[in-house]
Structure 1
Amino acid sequence: MDLVRTTPPRPLDVAVVFPEIAPLARTAIRLHPRPGAPSVRDSSVGGPLLWPADEPWPHCESTGHWDSGFREYPAAARLERRRLVRLAQDPDGPAYTQEEAAAKKRNDAMLRERLDSGPAPAECPVPLLPVAQLYVRDVPLLRPPGQADVLQVLWCPYDHEPEAKPSAALIWRCAAEVGDVLAVPPEPYEADWGASYVPEPCVLAPEQITEYPNTFDLSPELRTLVEDWSRWQAADAGLDSSYEEWPHEFYDAELADAPGWKVGGWPPWGRTDSNPRYCSVCDAPMAPLLAIASSEWDGESGSWIPYEDQGVASAGRFGAWDPAAPTGIQVGSADTMQLYVCPASPEHPHTDLIQ
């Protein structure tokens, strides 16, 4: 994979300042999705899947779709994103190029035909949208069952009651067993939240890092250590006095779990306290598999911006793209959807949580 992203070293070494926390270190792989043109043989976010031509495409059969009151045809959303990028780069250009106008006409006609031909789209079995495809060769932290070497994640592009989040499907497969590939997968009529569940095709730059638990995952004793201002002063950590009352905020934002799309590591918390997940089959504590993030960084996690993105990040928006939100996805209120799997058996049902 040619794309490279490099996370700067943390402002200080947790294992040195808090050796009591060192045993809790976990490996994570930041995926660093960036807009591109992945193929079915690539790891990607929102890219085409290595899907057998003779295998039925998964659909959501649920009738509990949350009506957000605002939906958009996925192809129309992608077209509009790219049109805005073009206009940002060439403000004097036409509102629509001939190619864009033709595509918009086709999209509008297709949507009208679909809407006029049957029941309300949300009441139909809804084709799932590709979210991610991860090859073990690129993300060795994955632990697939049997001979599988690729993980495919899809979801329904509608919020589901009562949690108001998309329903995801996880599929493991062996790439060598796929012959003819499905050329044109079905797409849903519409997607929720202004198509914020429609990811832009992105290539990946997997990077292995070390993470430590958020303070919500620390024991009361370890949390007390992190909140001890004298401990930070003794370590000469360079924190200014603004953190004196809440040094744990620095720890959580700069030293614990990384923001953005990632595999493994520690889960992000903040919207709720730590909420461990347990397998519905064997009651084993479930492990974080994939973080589907609304953004790669925010105002509180700027030190996590890869070296290669710091120039564009400091300049703000690049064209019509927010460099911190390359996939175009937004879950919840700019949150992260964490998928969990059973460490005893990846074939047990997964679960998820938005933080």
Structure 2
Amino acid sequence: MPFVGLAQFFDRDVPGLAAGPDDADLVQIFRCPFAHGPHLERRYHLRWRQAAETERAERFLATPPEVPMLRWEHELPEPCVLHPEEVDTYPWAEDDTLPASLIALIDTWDDAQAAEHGCDAPSYQGDLSIPPGWRVGGFPSWASTGPTAVDCASCATPMRLLLTAGGCEMDAGSHSWVPLEDRGPSLRGKASIRGGVSVSQPTRLRFGRDLDLHVFTCPANPGHPPQWVLA
């Protein structure tokens, strides 16, 4: 069965996009439309290309390959146009992702916010460090699994986060990242999000049990096989 295209990014459009092999400046992400094996695992594919050669290609498919009938709506992406926005992110604060003294200060601040604001209190993990949804570069979110070392299987170099794909662009635990036009200015948390599923899940995709899909590449040799981590 043909793989389904999930995303493509041009280096000219995305500041800080990780370098590809042989100066490739276009990266494409694909997924098999079906799950495999007893654990319903997904198969992904990363393809680096030269944008100039691709745009001059003389042979394109006249008709894109059709995906057969799928069981769930979230198997097939909703076509989207990207409008990249550059934001500052900070590491997940757990284990040794940050110095222990700094994590202790963050925990103290979180506790103070919770005491003052209750269940709608801002938090470092949800409101300040890593935004939800799709993002290029930055730091991985380890909300479900806890921090994990991701090293290149070919050369053991610590890998770099290329892309994170998420099912939701916003949720109740990440109020500060919700665009102003999509939230009620006088409300916080889940109640503040306006627009329903079409706004919070624009790509109509899910990864695992509502986890994030992290795509890691090797900074020493981008041609080495990537790693796909659900967390």
> Structure 1 length as normaliser, TM-score?
0.56
Are the counterparts in 1 of residues 182 and 195 from structure 2 also a CA contact under 8 Å? no
Offset from partner CA, 1:101-154 (integer Å, 9 cap, x none): xxxxxxxxxxxxxxxxxxxxxxxxx21000101111111312222232211111
- Displacement of 1:197: 2.6
Q: Compute the displacement of 1:302 (Å).
A: 1.7
2:134 aligns with 261
How many residue pairs align between the two structures?
217
Specify the alignment match of 1:241 in structure 2. Answer: 115
Match of residue 134 from structure 1: 9
Residue 73 of structure 2 corresponds to which residue in structure 1?
A: 195
Superposed counterparts of 1:136-175, under 5 Å: 136-142=11-17, 143-161=19-37, 164-175=40-51
- Please list the CA deviations of residues 335-354 of structure 1 after superposition, one character each: whole Å capped at 9, or x if unmatched: 21111111111110001111
For the 8 Å contact 2:135–2:165, the answer to whether it is kept is yes
Q: Summarize deviations over 1:191-212 as a string: whole Å, max 9, x none.
A: 45x0313111000010111110
1:187 and 1:220 mapped to 2: Cα distance? 51
Which residue in 2 is equivalent to 1:353? Answer: 229
Of 144, 157, 164, the match for 1:284: 157
- Larger RCO, structure (CA 8 Å, separation 6 or more): 1
State the Cα distance separating 1:232 from its structure 2 match.
8.0
Q: 1:333 Cα shift? A: 2.0
Residues 215-230 of structure 1 mapped to structure 2, 5 A cutoff: 215-216=93-94, 217-229=97-109
Pair 1:327–1:226, CA change in 2 (3 A): same
User: What SS does structure 2 have at the residue aligned with 1:223?
Assistant: helix
Identical aligned residues as a percent: 36
TM-score normalized by structure 2? 0.84
Select which of 57, 65, 70 maps to 1:186: 65
1:326 paired residue number: 202
**Cα distance between partner residues in 1 of 2:152 and 2:37:** 21
- C-alpha contact (below 8 Å) 1:155/1:168 kept by paired residues: yes
CA distance in 1, matches of 2:158, 2:69: 36
Moved more, 345-354 or 217-226: 217-226
Distance across 2 between alignment mates of 1:165 and 1:305: 31
CA distance change for structure 1 residues 299 and 242 in 2, over 3 Å: closer, same or farther? Answer: same
* Alpha-carbon distance, 1:273 to partner: 1.1
Letter in 2 for 1:200: E
- For the residues of structure 1 that align with 2:141 and 2:70, how far apart are their CA atoms? 26
**Residue 219 of structure 1, CA deviation:** 3.5
- Aligned counterparts of 1:224 and 1:307: Cα–Cα separation in 2: 31
Judge conservation of contact 1:128–1:187 (CA < 8 Å) in 2.
Answer: no
5+ residue gaps, structure 2: 185-191
Alpha-carbon distance between aligned partners in 2 of 1:190 and 1:256, rounded to the nearest angstrom: 39
Q: Following the alignment from structure 1 to structure 2, what is the Cα–Cα distance between the partners of residues 206 and 328?
A: 19
Name the aligned partner's letter for residue 86 of structure 2. Q
Whether the 8 Å CA contact 1:260–1:294 is kept in 2: the answer is yes
Q: 2:170 aligns with which of 288, 297, 300?
A: 297
Q: Does the 8 Å contact 2:163/2:216 carry over to 1?
A: yes
- In the superposition, relative to structure 1, how do residues 168 and 299 fare at CA in structure 2: closer, same or farther (>3 Å)? same
Question: 3-state DSSP class of the match of 1:340?
Answer: strand
Would you say the 8 A contact 1:337–1:354 is kept in 2? Answer: yes
Cα RMSD (Å): 2.5
8 Å contact 2:182–2:194 — kept in the other structure? no
**2:189 corresponding residue in structure 1:** none
Q: More displaced, 207-216 or 301-310?
A: 301-310
Q: What is the CA-CA distance between 1:325 and the residue it aligns to?
A: 0.2
Bigger-Rg structure (1/2): 1
Looking at structure 1, the residues matched to 227 and 41 of structure 2 have their Cα atoms a distance apart, in angstroms, of 12
